[in-house]
Amino acid sequence: MQKKIMEKIRTRFAPSPTGFLHIGGARTALFNWLYTRHYGGKFILRIEDTDQQRSTDKSTKAILDAMTWLGLNWDEGPYFQAQRVQLHRDMVQKLIKEGKAFYCNCTPEELESKRKQALATGKKPKYDGTCREKKLTKSANSVVRFRSKQDGVTIVEDLIKGRIIFNNEELDDLIIERGDGYPTYNFAVVVDDALMNITHVIRGDDHVNNTPRQILLYEALGFAVPKFAHVPMILGSDKTRLSKRHGATSVMAYKEMGYLPESLVNYLVRLGWSHGDQEIFSLQQLIELFSMDAVGKSPAVFNPEKLLWLNGHYIKASSSERLIEEMKPLWPLGTRTDDASFTQKVIADLQPRVKTLVELANRADFYFADEIKYEEQAAQKFLTQDISEQLKAIVVAISSLRNFSKESLEDFFKTFTQERNIKFKAIAQPLRVALTGKTVSPGIDEVMVTLGKDRVIKKINNAIAYIEQLK
């Protein structure tokens, strides 16, 4: 019996295409998606584009691309709200005919005057019902208002926040159709959710105050009221609402910065949801474990360092074959990565040491460069006249090595240093700078094996030539 009930669950994500998909919206989409997948229901994507002046095709594409990148596949849609306007208008007319809505021709100036007067007398600045009983017909610039209940209470049994009680006298006769004939948000969303049989509305808690108005609209239209779950907002480190000043807020900006989608998914779900002390979750684990009972009531604080740590974890856990594909758009212009085998080895060298793919791309520059640009201080300290002879001896010795493996190089360096009665550190950093141009890199033996004998000899000879020209 339980399975039969659960199969009826239908959730939706309904972004407005007026910009990119931001972190908060992505988390809302993720919670809807996980809840639906947990119970084997249907996840619907609806683009709320009735604001024709601000809605753009570019934003729609950006939202769809971000959803796809995160792996949040939808079962139906995307539906476009602007294509459903006639349905909304029909429902407006239904309410008018039933006496549940009315035309209002109050001008913006009149409404503003009434608002100021109400505030001046300490009253709530809501619509005063001027046109409620006038039985007006449609005229130029007239709007349609919902005849809201004037007494009693509307109760929201929120799956996250618990019971919330609203006094109906606090709610005004909200506009449901603007003067241009387009529905308002609160009306269109009710009609669309009802006609799409949405059973659970999971959204940000900035919509809490819309909920009693929407419940009254459901009831007036004769639709079943869905269950509501309002997710607390995401805050920045200063406990204010997350914004650009706290860092990137667009989902695709994280892709461009070299984050893997699974790290963002893992991080977003932990912003407000928990399962004990567990931090790392596979997608399948999230689907199995997710429930509204474990969603917190308090706002979550966005921690970029935690996300960065998670991304490093997922980069380390990824196959170099997978990363070679992820890296393609991130290599600096001019980087030659046509040798797939070599590129894969470079990635394998660096992936345990980086936290983003952009960092990997930047740290890999010396592998691909024919001529290295040495860090100035590193060159001054380590590429000196007295090291030149050692580097020449290394070139001669490794030229005859048949096996260029990590083990053979370890044996080589052990013998080389013993014969010259020097410690490895005496040549380690000079050799590192010669090969990489830097004082920090993966292990020298790892770098040499990945570069291969020919590249190593060429780079060391270039370093020798650099030292010689300093004479």
Confidence (pTM):
0.91
- pLDDT at residue 5 above 60? no
| Range 106-122 average pLDDT | 87
| Catalytic residue status for 244 | yes
Contact yes or no for 249/242 (Cβ under 8 A): yes
- pLDDT at residue 449 above 50? yes
The whole-angstrom separation of Cα 378 and Cα 373 is: 11
Catalytic residue among 58, 244, 328, 381, which? 244
By DSSP bridging, strand 143-146 and strand 175-177 are antiparallel
pLDDT of residue 265: 98
User: Over the stretch 9-22, which tens digit does the pLDDT of each residue have?
Assistant: 999 999 999 999 99
* Kind and range of the H or E run holding 435: helix 425-436
| Confidence bin at 3 (pLDDT 50/70/90) | very low
User: Over the stretch 318-360, which tens digit does the pLDDT of each residue have?
Assistant: 998 999 999 999 999 889 999 999 999 999 999 999 999 999 9
Q: What is the 3-state secondary structure (H, E, C) of 78-133?
A: EEEHHHHHHHHHHHHHHHHHCCCEEEECCCHHHHHHHHHHHHHCCCCCCCCCCCCC
- Among the residue ranges 86-95, 118-127, 372-381, 395-404, the one predicted with the least confidence is 118-127
CA distances for 342 relative to 143, 409, 438, angstroms: 67, 19, 20
The whole-angstrom separation of Cα 124 and Cα 122 is: 7
pLDDT of residue 358: 97
Mean pLDDT of the chain: 93
